[in-house]
Amino acid sequence: MVSELYRLTETGDPLLLKLYVNDLWGRGEAAARLRAEDLKEIKPGYGGYFENWLENQRRAWREDELKFDEQTIEAIFAILSCALGPLKLADLVTLIHRLRTDNLLISKKR
């Protein structure tokens, strides 16, 4: 398990390791049944972590019959990935609207 976490965290990146440890801790007893082979399908690095996390979120939303919009989710990740610090919710909503509107204008021009 340790060697797999080492691979996933690209040789022990502290923040990424903390994300994985928190996820494992949150699983409680289920984490004890987790095997290193279960982690082999996840790509290393932040990209792999967030792809796996988002897929788990989508699955949970579907199980709870919650509707979600892929374009909004992608816009949120795009904005947060280049934010220089914390954003207020109102600012995030404005940026999402602007980003989605700009994308619609671009795709109409093609």
Q: What is the pLDDT of residues 24-81, one digit of tens each?
A: 888 888 877 888 888 899 999 999 999 999 999 999 999 999 998 888 898 899 899 9
Q: What is the pLDDT of residues 71-92, one digit of tens each?
A: 889 889 989 999 999 999 999 9
Secondary structure of 10-58 in HEC code, one letter for each residue: CCCCHHHHHHHHHHHHHCCHHHHCCCHHHHCCCCCHHHHHHHHHHHHHH
pTM of the model: 0.74
